[in-house]
A and B are shown apart, each in its own frame.
Chain A
Amino acid sequence: MSESDDPIEALLRELAPQVLVTLVRQHRQLDACEDATQEALVAAVTQWPKDGVPKQPRAWLLTVARRSLIDQWRSDSARRQREGRAADAEPSRGPSDIDEQPPDRDDTLALLFMCCHPDLSRSAQVALTLRAVGGLTTREIAAAYFVPEATMAKRITRAKQAIVQSGARFDPPPADEIAGRLDVVLSVLYLIFNEGYTASAGPDLHRVDLTSEAIRLTRLVRRLMPSDGEVAGLLALMLLTDARRPARTDRDGSLVPLEDQDRSRWDAGAIQEGLALLTDTLGRFPVGQYQLQAAIAAVHDEAVTADATDWPQILALYDTLERVAPSPMVTLSRAVALANVRGPRAGLALLGTLDRDDSAVRTHRLDAVRGHLLERAGDMTQAREAYLRAARATQSLPEQRYLQLRASRLSLDRHES
């Protein structure tokens, strides 16, 4: 799966975090090192296509970045200037030796944990992770989130300042904090994936860049932490979900629900990889929410037709998921599974328990699911109203179009009968 078509761009994305990690390990200051890395990347993007890729690209980038760091320090305060000279006058360890050693796994992990520091806001964690660990430029991140480049630049600067203020250190978290900190990292990666997959505020249903970035970063975390079941589970979940992307929209960009998708268009390679990963993981590690969600995605992906879906199995998995990680969204999905096993009325009864839940009521998904189940129960008038309520509440244009169409089909049926 190629995550970038341009070989230079792909190489730079891989090297950028390594360069940053090497600089931060030596100089500690994330904000200054990050600016220097970005300058080196810009230099590479302008020079490499003309002059060719240097023989030692990482060393080239490090040299340019260090020069930029020292320039920054020289033009800064006198205190910074002294530090700069100190750094400059430290050739004893033979820079070329260090530079050609890729940073070890702990350094990259430390960088990731730092970017996903719990004191930062979600949007800051996302932006920093994409830039520092993902090696994306500010312009690319801005385009992916449909915000002006200047806005994203500010957001990243603020995030770096927040890291300095929070006193977060470039050290791996202590052993007893790793699990909690890893939860934050995984939720940031999943958020990036979902932002790309559903494009909650954009004109297109898919922003390929963010989904593939999330998969690429999760692969990286998986390489760094091969013995964590939830990391593997999240990667499997992403692969098994993203595999359906080609069938999720029709030719004019409208949303196609799972049951109506042309399953021959699903990405068989991604499904194979996700299934193999999941088979290798389940039972070997403590079960967690990502492994369970991946298992549910796998049951869907393995069904040759929508009718062949093993709904009792999916319902059992949602029962477990609701115990492991209860949330209104899980209950909503469990209602769909329940409706497929015991009929739409059983699903609707479970949805009824969510009406009291504020967070669920605020989302349009409750009404969208209710519309589907009412339609299957034969209550077209109520179904149509539920679809229209959901259409008014959603913030996704493709989803709004889909719901409006769904509602209009029901009103037409009613007139004909």
Chain B
Amino acid sequence: MKYMIMMFSGVGDSMAGRSPEWISGLHALMLGLDAELRESGELVDSRKLADPTRAKTVRFVDSKAAPTDGPYAEIKESLAGYWIIDATEERALEIAAKCVDYIEFPMEVRPVMDEQPPES
């Protein structure tokens, strides 16, 4: 089963007030988890997104699509990055917990839909 572990932009906001040691610790934690998931063969994909101030949202305005600056959601709730891992839900929650213990900011774990029809 594949799970997506999502991190949100609120983490970036809280970064501004942190000490250099805290920021270095976060980088070490992220790099360590990346390496662990890659080496264990669990990692399917992982991406970090650019800051939400770089986002544009395409809205349906006056009967046509129109791009506007900024993310659709509150910046705090905007997706900042994700891992997709092929593992159990328990393992996905364990990875998320390791991060949340450090960043003190919520993360979301959700199953990825299957491309295959269910076997009957």
Contacts and interface: CB of A to CB of B under 8 A. Distances in A.
A198 B48 CA distance: 17
Contact of A252 (B15, B22, B23, B31): B31
B28 interface: yes
B54 A392 contact: yes
B16 interface: yes
A412 interface: yes
Contacts of A392: 12, 51, 53-54
Contacts of A252: 27-28, 31
Interface in A94-131: none
Contacts of A412: 19-20
Nearest to B46: A203
A388 B53 CA distance: 12
Contact of B16 (A401, A407, A409): A407
Contacts of B50: 393-395
Interface in B24-77: 24, 27-28, 31, 34, 46, 48, 50-51, 53-54
> Which of A252, A388, A394, A408 has the most B CB atoms < 10 Å from its CB?
A408
A411 B18 CA distance: 9
Contacts of B16: 388, 407-408, 411
Nearest to B81: A397
A397 B48 contact: yes
Nearest to B18: A408
A365 to B, nearest CB: 15
Nearest to A401: B27
B117 interface: no
A254 interface: yes
A411 B24 contact: no
Contacts of B34: 203
B17 interface: yes
Contact of A401 (B18, B19, B23, B53): B23
Nearest to B53: A392
A324 to B, nearest CB: 33
B28 A408 contact: no
A224 B24 CA distance: 48
Given A392-B51, A392-B53, A397-B48, A405 B28 contact: no
Contacts of B24: 405
A408 B54 contact: no
A137 interface: no
B82 to A, nearest CB: 13
A366 to B, nearest CB: 15
A409 B20 contact: yes
B31 A253 contact: yes
B78 to A, nearest CB: 12
A393 B54 contact: yes
A405 B20 contact: yes
A74 to B, nearest CB: 37
A404 B17 contact: no
Contacts of B46: 203
A6 B17 CA distance: 49
Contacts of A409: 20
Contacts of B20: 405, 408-409, 412
A152 B2 CA distance: 25
Contacts of B18: 408
Contacts of A411: 16-17
Contacts of A388: 16
Nearest to A406: B20
A355 B12 CA distance: 26
Given A392-B51, A393-B54, A408-B20, 4 more contacts: A203-B34, A252-B27, A397-B48, A405-B23
22 contacts: A203-B34, A203-B46, A252-B28, A253-B31, A388-B16, A391-B51, A392-B12, A392-B53, A392-B54, A393-B50, A393-B51, A393-B53, A394-B50, A395-B50, A401-B23, A401-B27, A405-B20, A407-B16, A408-B16, A408-B18, A408-B20, A412-B20
Interface of A: 203, 252-254, 388, 391-395, 397, 401, 404-405, 407-409, 411-412
